[in-house]
Structure 1
Amino acid sequence: MEIEAKFLVSGRDVFDKLMNIDSINEFSISDAVLKEFRDTYLDTLDMAIYASGFSFRCREKKDKVVYTLKSLKSASSLIHMREETEFTLSEKVPVKEWNDCDLKNRVLKMIGSGNLFPLFLVEHKRTDLQVYNRERHVAELSFDDVIIICGNNKKIYLELEVELMGDGKEDELHQIAAFFRDEAGLVVGTSSKFDNGLELYMENIKQDAKSLDYGIVSDNQQITFSPIRDMFEEYSIEQEHARKVAENSLMLFDALKPIHALDGNLRQTLRFAALVHDIGVMTDVSTHHKVGRDILLSTCPEELPYPLCLFLPWMTFLHKKRIDKKKLQKLSQNKKFSQLPLQMQDDILKMSAILRLADALDLSRMDSKIVDIDLEKEDIVIKVMGPGADTDADRADTKADLWRLLFEKDVYFREDY
């Protein structure tokens, strides 16, 4: 259990001054020790750990790597408590390859067969000072010079953490924290580094939307925005499949970029489209592509801003059934689809072609893995491995029909042995 107080420090002069204090009332303070480390916060593409109420980070130090699972609780008081579980290794190792331990079991229970991806990085220059009451180690002061990095964006700030140590008492922690609040005049921090990083992560997605100029004036009054986790629950979306399709989609998007030439800022849109593509299944499995389209015309994940949310209903509609020129012609005459800018229509079709392949590659639900994507030959050859690879590769070949209508370079799928 982590018990601490957190404060924002407004300026470098205040930061440096406080680092040089040698006592607080009856408490003595040790000499400062400077540390530097780098945190990578991780989660699945559907944010399964976050949805479970936790953050998960990998902290790289000079001689070790510390993985930490922390509970997420809003800090509404001076002192706050969070559950914390750690596991230390000599180097970075995927969770699935760890020796059996409590943290491994807890994380795998949250993520299932999903893979972990970096959300953002946090670089620290930390100065630690130890607080004593005579011989008892009461608390640790951590003065953090923080840089959060997410894509091309950064957030830089200074903060102080006051953490209770094993020999300390909570009333002593209150005394120390009250000193920094009342006498030093620091503002109590209510956001964790994860909170700040996640805010930056979501801001990046908003910037993606702004950078893609489709010439649409905001007109989203008929769209209801809801957290994607709520949509998962309300429509009973098959989470493992949605996550796998999202993983496949992004791998294909990245590898096939020389062919599809889509703007890289559409990557997150593809991710969300993959996560909700089966939103209509529990309502009517036989026409779930149409049901899903209609749901997403009126309801969108709040994490995906307007107008990128306009991609989702049409990508959901196009992910199922065979597609030929006649069907595309009919779609172009659809009143709602035809009102979209021509560039957006074109991008929707290309993104749908990728989504169809990604969805097909998980037909067997046996965790088939893309192991090679070869663009050097006349046709693209994608190799798939796993117990259901033959079934999934065959299905992907069938669902490459839209890709073949849009691109000159054909694509074929093969089982890899």
Structure 2
Amino acid sequence: MIQPISPLREETNTRRILPILEFAAAHNSERSHDEQVMKNALQIFDQLSPLHGLSEDERFLLQAASLLHDIGWSQGGSAHHKSGQRLVFRDRSLPLGKKERSMISLLVRYHRKALPSLKHRRFAELKEKNREKVMVLASILRIADGLDRSHQSLVENIIVTISPRKVIIHCSSRKDGYAEYDYGMQRSDLFSRVFNREVVIEWSVAC
């Protein structure tokens, strides 16, 4: 179970998502992809709670990062994960505290390419417990993004099964998702390291 949070805090987090949605929409036209990645990420996060033990506050960080992960495309170039990190870190219109801003910006950076490293200044500046949270959340976001590689929102539902050696991520869809499967597996590198478990992705197509 996700650690409990007060109703007031939960309501505040829900309210803060609205301007984040607006900010994401202003920088990226593919809202359906952002929302699908968010859906994937939150389903995985919720079902992994026995392993990560994180709270609704960390769930909010993941939700926000999912919506913002591709905003860097608005700056052009191929390193959109780094451009996105800078946009989140520098913008003061987003309803985020200093620590939240730093962590979400890092999640945007680590949704693809290089894994978190102490060689990266912003990551190294975090307290150890927050670096661990970034590792967990980034590991989920990377897979969630991979599972919408074609930007067609193919994943309808995710069921996560946890065993001592494996985490099985079963995706239900109405269409084959070869690219989604391949990229989900490719993006599972950090997840396997964080949770010390093999990732297995299963894909089923409803008739």
TM range (shorter): 0.7 to 0.9
| Amino acid corresponding to residue 23 of structure 2 in structure 1 | M
Partner of 1:261: 53
| Amino acid corresponding to residue 153 of structure 1 in structure 2 | P
Partner of 2:65: 273
Partner of 2:194: 406
Structure 2 CA distance for aligned equivalents of residues 273 and 381 of structure 1: 23
Structure 2 residue runs without a partner (length 5+): none
Partner of 2:106: 314
Show the 5 A alignment for 1:336-375: 336-367=122-153, 368-375=155-162
Structure 2 CA distance for aligned equivalents of residues 270 and 362 of structure 1: 16
Show the 5 A alignment for 1:145-164: 152-153=6-7
Partner of 2:11: 201
Once the two structures are superposed, what CA deviation does each residue of 1:60-116 show, in whole Å capped at 9, x if it has no partner? xxxxxxxxxxxxxxxxxxxxxxxxxxxxxxxxxxxxxxxxxxxxxxxxxxxxxxxxx
Once the two structures are superposed, what CA deviation does each residue of 1:350-398 show, in whole Å capped at 9, x if it has no partner? 1100100111111122222234222247311111232243321221111
| Amino acid corresponding to residue 415 of structure 1 in structure 2 | W
Structure 2 CA distance for aligned equivalents of residues 279 and 300 of structure 1: 15
Once the two structures are superposed, what CA deviation does each residue of 1:138-169 show, in whole Å capped at 9, x if it has no partner? xxxxxxxxxxxxx6437xxxxxxxxxxxxxxx
Residues 276/371 of structure 1: CA separation in 2 closer, same or farther (3 Å cut)? closer
Q: Secondary structure at the match of 2:202?
A: strand
Structure 1 residue runs without a partner (length 5+): 1-150, 155-198, 207-225
Among 63, 75, 85, the alignment partner of 1:283 is 75
Percent of pairs identical after alignment?
23
Residues 238/300 of structure 1: CA separation in 2 closer, same or farther (3 Å cut)? farther
Structure 1 length as normaliser, TM-score? 0.44
Shift of 1:203: 6.5
1:334 is aligned to 2:130: no
Residues 371/252 of structure 1: CA separation in 2 closer, same or farther (3 Å cut)? closer
Partner of 1:54: none
Shift of 1:349: 1.2
Structure 2 CA distance for aligned equivalents of residues 339 and 398 of structure 1: 28
Residues 205/253 of structure 1: CA separation in 2 closer, same or farther (3 Å cut)? farther
Partner of 1:383: 170
Shift of 1:282: 2.6
Among 83, 87, 91, the alignment partner of 1:295 is 87
Residues 290, 317 of structure 1: 8 Å contact kept: yes
Q: Decide which moves more: 348-357 or 263-272.
A: 263-272
| Amino acid corresponding to residue 228 of structure 1 in structure 2 | I
Residues 164, 197 of structure 2: 8 Å contact kept: no
Structure 2 CA distance for aligned equivalents of residues 152 and 241 of structure 1: 30
Shift of 1:281: 1.2
Residues 230/265 of structure 1: CA separation in 2 closer, same or farther (3 Å cut)? closer
More helix by share: 2
Residues 339/297 of structure 1: CA separation in 2 closer, same or farther (3 Å cut)? same
Shift of 1:408: 1.3
Once the two structures are superposed, what CA deviation does each residue of 1:167-213 show, in whole Å capped at 9, x if it has no partner? xxxxxxxxxxxxxxxxxxxxxxxxxxxxxxxx98226789xxxxxxx
Structure 2 length as normaliser, TM-score? 0.83
Residues 205/383 of structure 1: CA separation in 2 closer, same or farther (3 Å cut)? same
Shift of 1:251: 0.5
Among 176, 182, 186, the alignment partner of 1:394 is 182
Greater RCO (Cα-Cα under 8 Å, separation 6 or more) = 2
Moved segments of 4+, more than 6 Å: 203-206
User: How big is the alpha-carbon RMSD for the aligned residues of Structure 1 and Structure 2?
Assistant: 2.6
